[in-house]
Structure formats: C-alpha cells, structure tokens
Amino acid sequence: MKKWLSIVLTVVLGVSLLTGIQESAEAKAGSKFSVKLEKCIDGDTAQFSKVGRTRFLYVDTPESTNKIEPYGKEASAYTCAVMKKAKKLELAYDGTKKDKYGRTLAWVFVDGKLLQSDLTKRGYVKGFYDYGNYSYESQLHADLKYAKNNKKGLYSGKKSELDSPPVPAKGEKFKNCTEMRKKYPNGVKKGHPAYEPKHDRDKDGVACEK
C-alpha cells in the first residue's frame, strides 16, 4: 500500500511540476493577442495582420526559399497548412519585439498550441538561435530530444521527399497559378524556367507561392 501511495504521489508531483513550468513560462512571456495570417513565407516566418512579417522565436527551420535545405520544404508546407486551417492564431512577445531586419519576434500559437513546439517535435527544427532567456527554452529542448530519439524529420536518416523537385521542361509555361501548383505546390523562384513575372503579383521573386 505504501509503495502504491509513493508512486501516486510521485506522478502527481511530476504533473504539478510540469504544469508549474508551463504556467511560469506563459507568465513570463507577454500576453497573447489574436492575429490573422496574411502570407506564408517559410517554416519559421510568416506575415500576420497587426505586426507584419514575423520571425518565429527561438526556432530555426531549414531553408526553403533562397537555399533549399533538407526538410525545408516540408517544414514550410506544414507551417503553412496548420496556420491556414487554424480557427485561432495568436502571438506573444518575449523580450525584444523586433530583430535587426525589422521583423517581429514572437511565439506563435495555433488553436492554443505552441507552433514552435509542434515543429520541433516533428523534426523540422535544425537548431535554436539564442539571443536571450526565452520562456519556452526548456520545453523546446525536450521536444528536440524527442525528435532525435524518435527519428523524426531531419533526424530520421531518410532523404526528404521534396528535396528533388520535378525537372521542368524547357520553356514550360502555365496558364495560371492553379495549374502551376499542380506540379510546383510551393511555386517557383525567379530564374526557374517556369517563372513568369505575371505569376509573381507581389514582386517578391517567387511566383505562385502559397
């Protein structure tokens, strides 16, 4: 009986400690505020209403635009998909609100869940950038350990399915973005044989990006 009581108390104390850590992290970070998604950019960057272009705090996902890195396209596609499906998107500041490029720095919550944690657990985070003492550091380090132990994404030892995009036919043209995305789901960059200025309405060098 004493043994079982000891086990129960240990579990209760463990849950209480974890809850306390999470509550402490939330208390340390700034208050959450609602935003709307305006544009997906890559795995750790997006544009939101009220704050503009936003760099997700602490996490660094593989590149998917200027220099394509393994699992960069998966990270970008996943981030975009979950944010577009979300019923509620929230941000929270944690220290410095802007980086040296003028981008907003914030924690991102998708329907109440920390997106940075989700990306890390799925193996879409290659590392962390540490410019301060952030609220969810301990949680994200535990998430990265989980991804490595369970061979997720970057840590699976498998080649990314999106690392080798289809080879375009010479002079390949598409009538509109709907047609282009059937072959190139994330659009194409300037310099790609299928790139046409008419499909790059925001003039950012990427045609038909999501």
Q: Measuring CA to CA, which residue among 150, 140, 68, 65 is closest to residue 108?
A: 140
Helix (H, G, I), strand (E, B) or coil at 11: helix
Neighbours of 129 (CB within 10 A): 13
CB contact at 8 A, 117 and 139: yes
Residue tagged 């200025």 (tokens): 197
CA dihedral over 42, 43, 44, 48, signed as positive or negative: positive
By CB neighbour count within 10 A (0-12 exposed, 13-18 middle, 19+ buried), where does 192 fall?
middle
Q: Measuring CA to CA, which residue among 120, 115, 124 is closest to residue 146?
A: 120
- State the pairing for strand pair 59-60/37-42: unpaired
Q: Which residues are catalytic?
A: 55, 63, 103
H-state helical runs in the chain: 2-28, 72-85, 115-121, 137-149, 177-183
